[in-house]
Structures are given as C-alpha cells and as structure tokens.
Amino acid sequence: MFLQQLVNGLTIGGIYAMIAVGYTMIYGVIQLINFAHGEIYMLGAFFAFTFITFLGLPFYAAFLLSMLCCAVCGMLLDIVAYRPLRQSPRLAALITAIGMSIFLQNLAMVIWGSRPKPFPHGAVPAYFENKAVTFGDVSLSWFHLFIFAITIVMMVGLNLIIQKTKWGKAMRAVAQNKTMAALTGINVNRVISYTFALAGSLGGAAGILVGAYYNSLYPTMGYIAGVKAFAAAVLGGIGSVPGAMLGGVVLGVAEAFGAGYLSSLYRDGISYGVMITVIVLIPAGLFGKIIKETKKSM
Amino acid sequence: MKPILEINRLYKNFGGLEALKDISFEINPLEIIGLIGPNGAGKTTLFNCVAGLEKPSSGEILFTNNSRTVSIGGKKPESVTSLGIARTFQNIRLFDNLTVIDNVKIGQHCRTRTMFLGAVVRTPGQQEEERLVTDKANQFLEFVGLAGRGQEIASSMPYGNQRRLEIARALATEPRLLMLDEPAAGMNPQESRDLMALIRRIRDKGITILLIEHDMKVVMGVCERVVVINHGQWLAEGKPQDVQNNPKVIEAYLGKGAASAASA
Amino acid sequence: MGKWFPTKFRRGDIIRIGVFALALVVPFLPFVSDYLLHIVVLVFLYMILALGLNIVPGFNGLLDLGYVGFYGIGAYTSGLLTVHFGLSFWIIVPLAFMNGAIWGILLGAPTLRLTGDYFAIVTFGFSELVVLLITNEIWLTRGPLGLPGIDPVSIDLSLFGGPKWELVGELPYYYLALFLVLVTVFVMYRIQDSRLGRAWFAIRDDEVAAVSCGINLLAYKVIAFAISAAFGAVGGAFFARWVTFLSPDMFKFWESFLILCMIVLGGMGNIWGVMVGAFVLVSMSEILRELLPLLGLPVEVRFLAFGLIMVLMMRFRPAGLMPIPAVASRMKAGRVKRKKVKVAVGMKK
C-alpha cells in the first residue's frame, strides 16, 4: 500500500510539477497569477484528443503538435489579455486572468461538450497498459514510466533552457528587474511571450498525460488541477522554478498518502490546506523570496 | 526645558548599507529646525525612523510631550502619530479619490473614536464628534489658505494646493511636532514665501517644526537652527549663516576644493 | 438632531426616489408574473451580496475571491437552524450577521497582513474548503443530497395573541427582499459618510498616508472583511428561507466571481453602481438562459459572455458603468487614459 501510494504520488506529483513551473515562471516575469494556466493544461488534452480523433494523427505526433498549439495559446493569452494591462494595478490583471479562465472553460464546453470524453480506442499506444516493472505488490506500467520519463526530460530541459541559454538568462533578468533588463537591450515583451509559450507547452503536455492516463477529458479539468499546481508553486516558493518542481512532487505525494490513509473525500482539501498554511506561515515557501508589499517606499 | 525630540546615537542599516550612522541631535520645543544635506544623505530615512515607518537598527529616539517622555524608536507609525508627531511626504501622498475636506478629516482619525455601530446608528455622541471634525477640518483648511475648497477632489488640485492640503491634513492630527519633507519642492519664489509665512504661523500655534529642505532661501529664511548630515552621519549644526560658511558643509555639497574657492 | 433627510434634492436623488417608488408597485403591474417576481427577488438578493462584497475591494481596495464561503456559511447555518430548531427567520438574521462577522474575523486576522495577491488566494482556498466541508460532512449537511424542507419565512405574532403568517408565493418575499436591500443600502450610506468609511477609503487610496494619520491598517481591514462577511451571511440566510432547499453546488467559486463581476461592471466602490451591476448581470443571465436555447446555443455561453465581459471591462472601462465620483469627474475632465485605471480599481501596483 505504502509503495503503491508513493508511486501514485510521484506520478501525479510530476504532473503537478509540470503545471506548477508554468505558474511560477509567469509570476516570476510579470507578477501575475495566471488563473487561465489551468485552462491551457485542459486545452492540451483536448487538442490532442481532436488531433487523434479528427485528424487521425498517431499519439506522439498529436502530443507534440498539441504542445505546440498550447505554446501558441499561451502567447496569445499574454498578447490579447495581459499585455495591454501591463501598467494597470494588479487587481485588474487578476480579474482579467479569472475572466479568461472562465471564458476558456466555457468555450471548451461549447466546442467539445461538457461530458467527460475518453481518448478514442487504440489512440494511446497499447503497450502502455502492460506492466513494465514489478516489485512486491506494486507494479509500474509502461505508462507510468512514460510519464516519469517525460516529466524528468521536461524538467531537465527546462532547467537547461533557463540556466544555459540566452533566452533563459533573459527570462531571469526580466524576473529580477524589468527596467534594467530593458535597459540592457532585452526585448522584455518578447521574453514574456516566450515564457508564456514555454509555460503553455509544459502545461499542455501535462494535460495530455493526465487525459490519457485517466482516459477522461472534461472542460473543467483545468480548474482543480490548476489550483493544486498553484498550491505546489506556492509551496515551493512562487517565482522559483526548482521550488515549483519540488513543490509539485511533494504535494502529489502528500495528496496520495493523505487520500490513501486519511480521507479520500478531502483529497482536494489537502491542496487547499497546504496552500493556505504555507501562505500564512511561510509566504516565501521553500525556495522563494518574500515579495513584501512596498509599504515603506517613500 | 527638556527637548521635544532627542535623537541619540541612531543607526539604521539596510542589509549591508549603513543609511544612518551614529546620528545625535536635539530639537527644543517651538524651534524651527532645518535638516539639510546632499541627496542620499539619509534625511528621509531619519524621518522614517522617527515616524515609525522604519525601525532603527540601534540608538534611541525620545519624544517629550506634556512632560511625558516616550521612546518611540521602533513604534508603529499609527502610535507615533497618536503621540503627537505628524509628517508630510517628499512625493505628496494624498487620498486622491477623496475630497479636500475628507482628506483633512482623516487627519482627525487618531483624535476620534466612532466605529461601526456609531456610524450606522448616529448616536448624539457620534453626531457631535462629526460636527467637531468638520469644524476643525474647515479651520485647518482656512489656516493653510484653502478655505472654500473643501468639496474639490484632492487629485484635481494644482500642485501647490496639494502640498498645502497635505500640511492641513498633518495639522489635523493635532501634533506637537510637525516634520515636513521638502515642502518647498517645485514651488516658485512667491509660493516659497507663502510657505515660510505658513511655517511661522504653525510655530506660533505652538507646534515645533523639523523640515527637510533643499531650497536654501527657505532654510535661511525660516530655520533658527540647521542640522547637516551627509552619508548618514552628522556633519555640522548651528545657525543657518554659520552652517552656510562651514567649510565641511561646502565640501559636502560642492566637493573638495570648493571650500577654499568659496572662502577666496 | 441628526439629518434624517437631506434638505437639498439633486437630480440623482430624484431618480433614486423614482426607482424606489417604482419598485414598490412592481408586483402589481399587469405583465408581472410570479416568475418575473422571482427574478427580481434574485436581483435584490444579489444586490445585498454585491453591496456586502463591495466593502472589501470597493471601499478597501483588497481582492476577496472567497465571498461565496460566507454566503454558504450563512445559508447552511440558517437552513440547519431552521430544520433542526425551527428558529424564526427574524432571530436567524442577526445571528447570521454575527456568525458571518466572526468567520470574517477568524479568516481575516491572520491573513490580512499578507500582500494582495496572497490574500486573494487564501480567500479562494477558504471558500473551496467551505464547499468541501459542506459536501463531505454528510452527517451535518446531507452533502450532495441537499438540505430540503427549510421552512419559509413567517411572521409569528402568536406570542402576543396575534396571527401567524407564513410567507407564501413570491409577492411577500419581494417586499421582504426589498426591505433587506433598503436596510443594506442605508447601512452602506451611513458607513460611507463616517469616520469608519473615511478610514477605509484612506487605506484604499494610500496605505502609507493612512498609517501616518493614525489608522491601524490590520484592524480596519479586519473590520471591513468581517462586515462584508456578515452581509454575505445575511444574504445566505435569506436565500435558505426563500428557496427552502440548499445544496453544495449552489456555493461554488463561480458565485464569488459572479458577484465580483457585478461590482466591477457596475462600478467598484459606488453603492448605486454596484446595485446596477447586480441588476444588469442577473437580468442578463436570465435573459440569456431563455434566449440561448432558442438560438441553438448551449447555456454555457452565458458564462462565456461573463468571462469576456470582465476581460473587456478591465481593458476598456475598469472604473465600471458608474464610477465613484472622483473617478467620474476625472474622466469627465478628459484626463482619461491610464490614470483612471490606477485609482478606480484601487489596488496598488
């Protein structure tokens, strides 16, 4: 039981991590909680579903194409909704983010209907079901391994991009100080768009994985996953990418154990509880810096 | 007579930056003191420490009012205001969306008490308090020269009037010590003269004044004593004319060699 | 002697009195059905809720995303007290008010010292936890089965040897709701023009300056949050006794967002603007609910529309349809552009 929950926890934790880094990167560069990020995750699943069902694309091709579409969606979200409000107070941007989230959720309902849908039969590679590794009474299917692999590859890849590439450095600069970054010749808006694209593609990937794993897609799936991933980002310290990754895994494991041993009814409550507790007690999270309200600036 | 404000060996660090280093000076009741120094010297930081917006790293600040001496270093800003110290801000901080008179009425907040029940039920006590607040607010507006402008929206007023409004609001807190942060900034000579007259009128009402100012005409014209700080440290102190000719002060503002050039 | 009536009547006042007079006679107009009355009562209910929420973002400049939590607490408390103890509505209302205020203090005291974003998130988490609790604690609330059989409101004068009337049909609830709205508006007006209201506006416009005038930020924010919660709970208490059935999915986050939409659309901080916003959104919601199926569109398009409206409002008219006077005069003076955004919406950068 323990090991099984651990496996479940790590699996879902990896997913949360992938979504959480999206929240944290966007908060890092524009100090906005992108409420609509969960919807990008949801769209990832639905795009893949559409590509497989209506274009007959094979799984991996649909996966990659969907990630690309989500990247584009992320950038559009920024350009259309958030960029015009760059100079406005945070309340306006937050309300816009919520508005976009509601809009996208319901748009998906209109387009794809509100009932949960499975992926078409045979869409997901068949051998995913098969057990790959077994120890004790715990088994990992190929799908589990696939998810682990994708998660790890994405996390490592993201870290490489952030630490080693020119764009990554630009992102870090913008996150630290937009004005200075602009003064050193960085095109801040372009960097922000790029951040949204990156966040979107990861979120979309997570969506496809979850949709395929549970074989159920529905337009409000982004809502609850988004909240949990945000809780993970807060736990890790909003603004810190390694924090979000760690936070995601920790939250996933905590949730699995909590649901397994304490109460499965309050599975979602664990995320809310973690989030509230972290924010109230240690707002900086595990790795983040406290973003103090500038009360004292004259 | 005990000084109204005593600053003893005040230090303030921000991380590695020493903004204030071993500052000590006194202000006696009813004096008008100028606090001057080059930009970045730490003057506003000093104000913030006194007013409670910053916590001193070490040292003490003693405020004496009605023979009671209180150590105010580290106290919250609301408490400092209640105790009798008011301040204005370098960059004017008004309540933009409120009327002129409401801005001043808010200054009276710390001298009044009505809360939710009183607001809704309008007890005779509450009505009397409101009447008093309104009357006093109008008096303060008249005092600073803004009579009749009560219903204007604060942010719609010209700059000079906004400064006056901020002073009226500070006066409404009924302070014993008023700290003005660059009140003459952006003023033309006539406005500066009006300001100096206002400062003297405030002092005549029994309020001690500490002011940060760069406009030397104002400093010379209205301050009885001047304290000079530079790089967070006390540099000189004395009558305005004496300080003006102090070679260390000249050097602080104009650089080395200017002192000898000035005395030549 | 306090001023009960203002001695000068301006155009705005005349319009309001006219609207009020109209409201008094609406139920007797020829084309008005019970269904239409039901909608208007819903409008009144949301006006109360919107006025309550308005205290936090509108008067204080803080974003509250968890208002539905208090609404739900008020509703279920009212429902359960009625079902188990048969308490009179007239006792439940003040109880709901106090209960709401207590929850507001409990939630607000540890969290109102946080920055605006974090506070918003915590309120959101709180309201989600409330829903989870209502859904899962079946022994208490019957969970997803819902809580039926809540007695309607009654006026019981039997203690004094008089009759007992039970409110049946929409008509009496119409006047009850109208009465509650008037009381709420009255309270809001009184607060607005008082030391408490001024302290709140000061906090909204400039926290540093407010503090330098002697205002204790945390204390006043908590009071604001508590009073806002109190009104939310009162709204919920009324709701329970009106629809006589409660279920957890009536109290989802969507409601918080909807009420927020009302105050943003109508004009944050402006008592009448907020009421207009409630009227417009509830009416629109009902009209769309009827209209959309006729156009062959799914009902979800309503929500789509609301989301879109919020985005557009924030972009083009963040001050709302009826901005607070200061912003309205600034807009009129032509200094429209970015400045109005900053001060209308209140929250600091």
In angstroms, the CA B46 to CA B206 distance is 23
In angstroms, the CA B21 to CA B3 distance is 21
Taking CB atoms and an 8 Å cutoff, what residues of chain C touch A296?
Answer: 208
Ramachandran sector of residue B84 (left: φ over 0; alpha: ψ -120 to 50; beta: rest): left
Between residues B248 and B105, the one the model is more confident about: B105
Interface test with B, best of C200, C212, C347 (most B CBs within 10 A): C212
Is C131 within 8 Å of C252 (Cβ atoms)?
yes
Name the 3-class secondary structure at A141.
strand
User: How far off is chain A from C341, nearest CA to CA, in Å?
Assistant: 6
Q: Taking Cα atoms as reference points, which of A222, A164, A190, A216 lies closest to residue A44?
A: A222
Between residues C26 and A135, the one the model is more confident about: C26
Q: Which two tokens stand for residue A221?
A: 């799936």
Find the mean pLDDT for residues C252-275: 92
What is the model's pLDDT at position C342?
44
Burial (CB < 10 A; 0-12, 13-18, 19+), residue A24, is buried
What is the model's pLDDT at position C109?
94
In angstroms, the CA C198 to CA B95 distance is 10
| Neighbouring C-beta atoms of residue A36, cutoff 10 Å | 29
Taking CB atoms and an 8 Å cutoff, what residues of chain C touch B94?
Answer: 205-206, 209
Per-residue pLDDT band for C60 (boundaries 50, 70, 90) equals very high
Find the mean pLDDT for residues C234-261: 92
Q: In the B/C pair of chains, how many CB contacts fall below 8 A?
A: 120
**Cβ contact (<8 Å) for A296 and B54?**
yes
pLDDT at residue C7 above 80? no
Interface of chain B toward chain A, CB-CB under 8 angstroms: 44, 48, 53-54, 89-91, 181
Q: Which two tokens stand for residue B141?
A: 């507006």
User: Which residue do the tokens 């109005």 mark?
Assistant: C340
Is C262 within 8 Å of C46 (Cβ atoms)?
yes
Find the mean pLDDT for residues C65-94: 92
In angstroms, the CA C325 to CA C341 distance is 14
Q: Please report the residues numbered 55 through 84 in chain C whose beta carbons come closer than 8 angstroms to any beta carbon of chain A.
A: 57, 61, 63, 65
Per-residue pLDDT band for C21 (boundaries 50, 70, 90) equals confident
Q: Which two tokens stand for residue A276?
A: 């509230």
> CB-based contacts of A15: which residues, under 8 Å, 6+ apart?
A147, A151, A206, A209, A210, A225, A248, A252
Is C171 within 8 Å of C27 (Cβ atoms)?
yes
- C141 contact A CB<8A: no
Catalogue the E-assigned strands of A194-298. Answer: none
User: Which residue do the tokens 């990418």 mark?
Assistant: A241
Burial (CB < 10 A; 0-12, 13-18, 19+), residue A249, is buried
In angstroms, the CA A15 to CA A168 distance is 22
Beta bridge partners of B34: B211, B226
> Which chain A residue has the Cα nearest residue B181?
A298
What percent of chain B has a predicted confidence (pLDDT) above 70? 97
Find the mean pLDDT for residues B228-249: 90
What is the model's pLDDT at position B259?
56
In angstroms, the CA A118 to CA A139 distance is 24
pLDDT at residue C349 above 50? no
pLDDT at residue B146 above 70? yes
Residue B71 is inside which H or E element, if any?
strand B68-71
- Distances in Å between the Cα of C239 and the Cα atoms of C32, C78, C248 are 22, 9, 13
**From the centroid of its chain, how far is CA C324?**
18
Q: Please report the residues numbered 194 through 223 in chain C whose beta carbons come closer than 8 angstroms to any beta carbon of chain A.
A: 207-208, 211
In angstroms, the CA B148 to CA B101 distance is 10
Taking CB atoms and an 8 Å cutoff, what residues of chain A touch C345?
Answer: 88-89, 91-92
Dump pLDDT digits (tens) for B43-84: 999 999 999 999 999 999 999 988 899 999 899 999 999 999
Q: Which two tokens stand for residue C24?
A: 């008094």
In angstroms, the CA C298 to CA B69 distance is 72
Residue B199 is inside which H or E element, if any?
helix B189-204
pLDDT at residue C336 above 70? no
| Dihedral sign (CA C156, C157, C161, C164) | negative
Arithmetic mean of pLDDT over chain C: 87
Interface test with A, best of C118, C140, C212 (most A CBs within 10 A): C118
pLDDT tens string for chain A (298 positions)? 778 888 888 999 999 999 999 999 999 899 899 999 999 999 999 999 999 988 888 888 999 999 999 999 999 999 999 999 988 877 788 889 999 999 999 999 989 988 888 887 777 777 777 777 777 777 788 888 888 888 999 889 998 998 899 888 998 888 888 888 888 888 899 999 999 999 999 999 999 999 988 888 999 999 989 989 999 998 988 888 889 999 999 999 988 888 777 777 788 888 888 888 888 888 777 777 654 433 333 3
Lowest-confidence pick of A50-64, B172-186, C192-206 = A50-64
> Which chain C residue has the Cα nearest residue A270?
C129
- Distances in Å between the Cα of A77 and the Cα atoms of A23, A97, A188, A200 are 14, 9, 16, 10
Taking CB atoms and an 8 Å cutoff, what residues of chain A touch B54?
Answer: 296
Q: Please report the residues numbered 49 through 88 in chain B whose beta carbons come closer than 8 angstroms to any beta carbon of chain C.
A: 51, 53, 76-78, 81-82, 86-87
Per-residue pLDDT band for B117 (boundaries 50, 70, 90) equals confident
User: How far off is chain A from C347, nearest CA to CA, in Å?
Assistant: 6
Find the mean pLDDT for residues C229-247: 94
Find the mean pLDDT for residues B143-147: 94
**Cβ contact (<8 Å) for C213 and B93?**
no
What is the model's pLDDT at position B257?
61
